[in-house]
Amino acid sequence: MLSEKVTCNSHGQDSSYFLGWEEYEKNPYDEFKNPNGIIQMGLAENQLSFDLLQSWLEKNPQAMAFKNYNNQSIFKDLALFQDYHGLPAFKNALVKFMSEIRGGSVSFNPNNLVLTAGATSANETLMFCLNNPGDAFLLPTPYYPGFDRDLKWRTGAEIVPIQCSSLNGFRITKSALEDAYKQAEKQNLKVKGVLVTNPSNPLGTSLSLHELDLLVNFISSRNIHLVSDEIYSGTVFSSPSFISIMEVLKNKNLMNTEIAKRVHIVYSLSKDLGLPGFRIGAIYSNDERVVSAATKMSSFGLVSSQTQHLLSEILSDQNFTKTYLSENRRRLKERHEMLVNGLKKSGIWCLPSNSGLFCWVDMRHLLSSNTFEGEMELWKMIVYQVRLNISPGSSCHCSEPGWFRVCFANMSEQTLDLAMQRVKSFVDSMAKQDNQSRHQKLMNRNSRRTKSLPKWVFELSFHQQEIVANER
C-alpha cells in the first residue's frame, strides 16, 4: 500500500495556477516553431539580466573551473563531504548581499543563517519548526498559490486568510488581522504566527512602515511568530523603497528582545539574481533554537558545495553586485512600464506597484458576471483563445473576482509586445460583440414595442406621412 501522501489530492496541483501551466506545456509559444502557442505569463522568473551574470563568468573563468586565484584546483575539496551549516565563505557573502539590498541599513549574522534548497524548502522548514500539525498561520490575501502546497502539504499546518480589499490597495489593516485571528479561534485552530511576502507576490507592492508596525505590534500582543518572505527584496525598482522587517526591529530597539526571536526571514537568490535552478534559499532567525532545528532539517535539502562556491565568488565581488542590482532594477522598471502601458491601451488597469516580476491586473470590467464563475470563464478564454497563461485571482485566494497576476520578466520584449497585441485584439472583439449584443437587444425591444401598438397608430402615422407629402 502507498502512503496517504501519495494518493491524496491536498498538494494543490488542482489549482488553476498549476492547471494553466499544464495547458502552456501542451502548447508552448515559440517565435519560430509555434508562433500561435500559449505565451507563459504565469511564471515569476527574472530573465532580464542573465547577460550580466554571463559577462562576469567570462571574466572570472576560474570560478566555474573550481580553481582558486593561484589557478590551483579546489574540485576535490568541494566534492568531499561538507558540513550541513554550509560553506562559511558563501554564508558570509550572502549576508553581505542581503545587507547591500537593504542599503546597509541593517547587518546580518552568518551564524543565524540556515541554507536550504530554495525558498520553498525554507518556508516548509519554518512550518515544521514553528507549528504542530493542525496549528495555523495567518496569511494576507491575495497570496502566492504555492503556499497551499509549501506550507501545508507535509507539515499539517493550516492557513487562515487575512482578508484584504481593493478599496485600500489590498493593504493589511488592524481590523483584518483581528478578524483573521477570531476566525481561526472559531475553527478551534491555534494560531502560531503570521506569514507575509514583502514585497508581495502577487501584488508587486512592498509593505509600508505602517503595515510593518501593525504586524510587530500584533505578534507582540498575541505572543506569536512573524515570517517575512523577502525573496523579492532586490526587485524594488521605484518608490517607496523596500523596508525589511529587520529594519523595523532595529528602529524600535527590539533586536535583542524576545519579540525579535519570534521574527524570521526567508530569502532566496531565485528572483533577485534570476537563479531558481540553483536552488539557493535561506532562513534567517534570531532564535538559536530555530536555527539549530532548521539546520538539522536542512540535511534533507542541502545546497551543493559547488553551487555555494560559485555564488560566493560572484557575491563577494561587490563592484559587480552593486552594478547588477542597479541595472536589474532599471530593466525591471522598464519592462513593468511596458506591460502597464500595453494593458492601458486595451483599457485595462493595474494596481500601482513598485516591485516584483508581475502586475496585479484589474479585469473586473471584462467579467460576464461579478462572480468567481465569471472569473474562471474569462480565464479560460484568455488561456485558450488569447493563448496567454496568466494566474486568476481566485488561485491566489483573492476575495474579489476579476483580478489576475500577469508576469513580465520571463520573456523578450518582442514576446511581451505580441502578448499585448493579443490582449488588444481580444478586448476589441469583446467590445464589438458587446455592442452587437446591445444593438440586437435594442432591436428586439423596439420590435416587441411595435408589435404591441394598436392598429390605429399605424393608420394615423401613414395618414400624417401623406399630409406631409402633399404639403411638399
Exactly one of 101, 172, 231, 243 is catalytic; name it: 231
> CB of 60 within 8 A of CB of 287?
no
Helix (H, G, I), strand (E, B) or coil at 36: coil
C-beta separation of 379 from 41 below 8 A = no
DSSP string, 176-187: HHHHHHHHHHHT
Known catalytic membership, residue 144? yes
How far apart, in whole angstroms, are the C-alpha atoms of residue 307 and residue 402? Answer: 41
Which among 271, 280, 287, 348 is annotated as catalytic? 271
Q: Say which of 144, 181, 267, 324 is annotated catalytic.
A: 144
Core vs surface per residue 299-323: b (16+ CB within 10 A) or e: eebbbebebbbbbbbbbebeebbee
86 Cβ contact partners less than 8 Å away, ≥ 6 residues apart: 113, 115, 303, 308
C-alpha cell recorded at residue 71: 589557478
Per DSSP, 110 falls in state G
At 57, the amino acid letter reads L
271 catalytic per annotation: yes
Given 150, 229, 272, 287, which residue is catalytic? 229
Q: Is 223 left (phi over 0), alpha (psi -120 to 50) or beta?
A: left
Grid cell of 420 as nine digits: 499585448
Active site residue 96: no
Q: What is the distance between the alpha carbons of residues 90 and 165, in angstroms, rounded to a whole number?
A: 41
Alpha helix ranges (H) inside 201-304? 209-222, 245-251, 258-261, 288-297
Distance CA 18, CA 419 (A): 20
CA-based nearest residue to 387, from 35, 46, 145, 16: 35
CA torsion 12-16-17-18 (nearest 10°) is 60
Annotated catalytic residues are 144, 229, 231, 271
